[in-house]
Structure 1
Amino acid sequence: MRDETGEPVVTVDEGLSRRAKALACTAPLHELDAHKGMIEWAEAKTYLMAEIALYTIDQVAITMDFDTGAGHQHIQERVQRFVARQAPQRPDQEHARITAWVLGSLINLGDVDRAFRRPYGAVDSDGVYRVRTFDFKLIEERRDEAGKLYLRASHEALNVLVGALDTDVESAQVAAEVKLDNLIRRGRLVDAKQVAEQARIRTIQYGGLIRVQLEATKRNVQAVDWREKVPDLLDDALAHVEERVKAERAIAKYMAEARDEAEEPVRKSRAAELVDIVEDCVRRHIKLHSHLIGARDLFQEQQDRQQFSGTPQRQTLDLYGHLLMPALDLPVADASGLADLYFTESSGPVVRDLPDLAALVPLLLRPAPERTRFAGEVPEPDLETLQERKRFTDHQWVLANALLELPDEVRTLSGLLDEAAALDPELVALLALQAYGPQTGTALRRGDDRVLLAVHADADLDSQGFEGDDLLLATARLVDPATADHPAQTPKNTGGDNR
Structure 2
Amino acid sequence: MVQPAGDIGFAQRVKALACTAPLHDLDNRKGQVQSADFSVYQMSELALNAIDLVTLAMDFDAGAAPEQIVVGLTTFVARQAPDRDAAEHARVARWILENLLNVGSTDRGFRAVYGMTAGDGTYSRFAFDFKLLEEVVGADGEIFLRATNEAVNVLVGALEIDIESAQIAADLRLDTLIRRGRLSDAQAAAQAARYRTIQYGEKLRQHLEATERDVRTVDWLNEMPQFIAEAIEHIEARYKAENAILVNITEVRDTADTEVRKSQAARLVFVVRDCLRRHEQLQAALQGAGRRFRAQQDRQTFVPGSTNASLDLHAQLLVPALTLPIEPADRVLAAFFARSTGPFVPRALRLIDLFTALVTPPAERETLGGEIEEPELDDIIEEPAFPVECYELLEELLDLDVEAPRRLSGLLQEARTLHPQLAGLVIVRVVALVAQEINSAVRHGLPSVFIAVDDGTPLDDPEYGGADLIVACAAIEPVAVA
Sort the TM-score into its range (normalised by shorter chain). 0.5 to 0.7
- The amino acid of 2:47's aligned partner reads A
2:118 and 2:260 mapped to 1: Cα distance?
55
Does the CA contact (< 8 Å) of 2:15 and 2:159 recur in 1?
no
Does the CA contact (< 8 Å) of 1:12 and 1:123 recur in 2?
no
The offset of 1:300, in angstroms, is: 1.3
> What's the counterpart of residue 286 of structure 2?
292
1:37 to 27, 31, 41: 31
Q: Is residue 144 of structure 1 aligned with residue 138 of structure 2?
A: yes
1:302 to 282, 296, 312: 296
The offset of 1:67, in angstroms, is: 1.4
> What's the counterpart of residue 337 of structure 2?
none
> What's the counterpart of residue 85 of structure 1?
79
Does the CA contact (< 8 Å) of 2:4 and 2:118 recur in 1?
no
1:15 and 1:259 mapped to 2: Cα distance?
41
1:39 and 1:154 mapped to 2: Cα distance?
27
The offset of 1:58, in angstroms, is: 0.4
* Identical pairs, percent: 50
- The amino acid of 2:292's aligned partner reads L
The offset of 1:305, in angstroms, is: 1.2
Aligned-pair Cα RMSD in Å: 2.2
Map residues 328-477 of structure 1 onto 2, 5 A cutoff. none
> What's the counterpart of residue 69 of structure 1?
63
User: Which has the larger displacement, 163-172 or 51-60?
Assistant: 163-172
The offset of 1:135, in angstroms, is: 1.2
Q: Is residue 201 of structure 1 aligned with residue 195 of structure 2?
A: yes
1:230 to 209, 224, 229: 224
- The amino acid of 1:234's aligned partner reads I
1:305 and 1:124 mapped to 2: Cα distance?
45
- The amino acid of 2:21's aligned partner reads A
> What's the counterpart of residue 115 of structure 2?
121
- The amino acid of 1:81's aligned partner reads T
- The amino acid of 2:163's aligned partner reads V
Does the CA contact (< 8 Å) of 1:107 and 1:139 recur in 2?
yes
1:176 to 162, 170, 173: 170
User: Which has the larger displacement, 83-92 or 192-201?
Assistant: 83-92
* C-alpha distance 242-201 of structure 1, shift in aligned 2 (>3 A): same
Q: Is residue 260 of structure 1 aligned with residue 254 of structure 2?
A: yes
The offset of 1:83, in angstroms, is: 0.8
Q: Is residue 46 of structure 1 aligned with residue 40 of structure 2?
A: yes
- The amino acid of 1:280's aligned partner reads D
The offset of 1:296, in angstroms, is: 1.2
Does the CA contact (< 8 Å) of 1:11 and 1:127 recur in 2?
no
Does the CA contact (< 8 Å) of 1:12 and 1:127 recur in 2?
no
1:92 and 1:313 mapped to 2: Cα distance?
56
> What's the counterpart of residue 111 of structure 1?
105
> What's the counterpart of residue 187 of structure 1?
181
1:132 and 1:250 mapped to 2: Cα distance?
45
- The amino acid of 1:281's aligned partner reads C
* C-alpha distance 21-290 of structure 1, shift in aligned 2 (>3 A): same
1:313 and 1:113 mapped to 2: Cα distance?
28
Q: Between Structure 1 and Structure 2, how many residues are aligned?
A: 309
> What's the counterpart of residue 444 of structure 1?
none
> What's the counterpart of residue 11 of structure 2?
17
Give a deviation string over 1:218-257, Cα, whole Å, max 9, x none.
1111111111111111101000101101211221222122
1:59 and 1:214 mapped to 2: Cα distance?
24
3-state SS, counterpart of residue 88 of structure 1: coil
3-state SS, counterpart of residue 46 of structure 1: coil
Give a deviation string over 1:132-161, Cα, whole Å, max 9, x none.
322111000111011100000011111111
2:23 and 2:246 mapped to 1: Cα distance?
34
> What's the counterpart of residue 396 of structure 2?
none
- The amino acid of 2:244's aligned partner reads A
1:63 and 1:140 mapped to 2: Cα distance?
14
Structure 1: where are the runs of 5+ without partners? 1-8, 315-346, 352-499
The offset of 1:289, in angstroms, is: 0.5
* C-alpha distance 209-312 of structure 1, shift in aligned 2 (>3 A): farther
The offset of 1:313, in angstroms, is: 9.1
3-state SS, counterpart of residue 13 of structure 1: helix
3-state SS, counterpart of residue 129 of structure 2: strand
Structure 2: where are the runs of 5+ without partners? 317-482
Q: Is residue 210 of structure 1 aligned with residue 207 of structure 2?
A: no
2:306 and 2:138 mapped to 1: Cα distance?
23
The offset of 1:281, in angstroms, is: 0.3
> What's the counterpart of residue 322 of structure 1?
none
Q: Is residue 57 of structure 1 aligned with residue 33 of structure 2?
A: no
* C-alpha distance 86-227 of structure 1, shift in aligned 2 (>3 A): same
- The amino acid of 1:215's aligned partner reads E
1:256 and 1:203 mapped to 2: Cα distance?
21
1:167 to 146, 156, 161: 161
1:10 and 1:196 mapped to 2: Cα distance?
34
2:4 and 2:101 mapped to 1: Cα distance?
38
The offset of 1:11, in angstroms, is: 9.1
- The amino acid of 2:94's aligned partner reads A
The offset of 1:127, in angstroms, is: 5.2
1:192 and 1:256 mapped to 2: Cα distance?
13
Give the TM-score normalised by the residue count of structure 2.
0.61
* C-alpha distance 254-313 of structure 1, shift in aligned 2 (>3 A): farther
User: Which has the larger displacement, 110-119 or 97-106?
Assistant: 110-119
Give a deviation string over 1:355-397, Cα, whole Å, max 9, x none.
xxxxxxxxxxxxxxxxxxxxxxxxxxxxxxxxxxxxxxxxxxx
The offset of 1:124, in angstroms, is: 5.4
Give a deviation string over 1:136-187, Cα, whole Å, max 9, x none.
1100011101110000001111111110122111100110011001101111
- The amino acid of 2:215's aligned partner reads V
2:203 and 2:97 mapped to 1: Cα distance?
24
Name which one, 1 or 2, has greater alpha-carbon Rg.
1
- The amino acid of 2:233's aligned partner reads A
2:34 and 2:150 mapped to 1: Cα distance?
31
